[in-house]
Copies of this chain bind each other. A is one copy, B any other.
Amino acid sequence: MRTIHTPLQKEETVKVPEPTLRRLPWYLSNVKLLKQRGERFVSSTQISNEIGIDSSQIAKDLSYVHIAGRTRVGYEIDTLISVLENFLGFTNIHKAFLFGVGSLGGALLHDSGLAHFGLEIVAAFDVNPQLVGTTLNNIPIFHSDEFEQKREEYGVHIGVLTVPIEIAQQITDKMVQGGIRAVWNFTPFRIRVPEDIVVQNTSLYAHLAVMFNRLNINETER
Measured CB to CB, the residues of A under 8 A from B are 12-13, 15-16, 18, 21-22, 24-26, 28-30, 32-33, 36, 51-53, 88-90, 92, 94, 102-104, 106-108, 110-114, 117-119, 157-158, 165-166, 181-182, 184, 187-190, 192, 196-198, 200, 202-221
Contact = CB atoms under 8 A, between A and B. Distances in A.
A102 B113 contact: yes
A158 B215 contact: yes
Give how many copies assemble into the complex.
2
A102 to B, nearest CB: 7
Nearest to A203: B25
A103 to B, nearest CB: 3
Given A22-B203, A25-B188, A202-B204, A209 B106 contact: no
Contact of A21 (B51, B196, B210): B210
Contact of A213 (B21, B33, B157, B187): B21
A215 B52 contact: no
Contacts of A25: 188, 203, 205-206, 209
Dominant secondary structure of chain A at its interface with chain B = helix
B88 A209 contact: yes
Contacts of A215: 94, 157-158, 181-182, 198
B114 A208 contact: yes
Nearest to A22: B206
A106 B28 CA distance: 24
B217 A13 contact: yes
Contact of A184 (B90, B111, B184, B207): B207
A12 B216 contact: yes
Given A166-B33, A205-B117, A211 B190 contact: no
A33 to B, nearest CB: 6
A89 B212 contact: yes
A203 B88 CA distance: 13
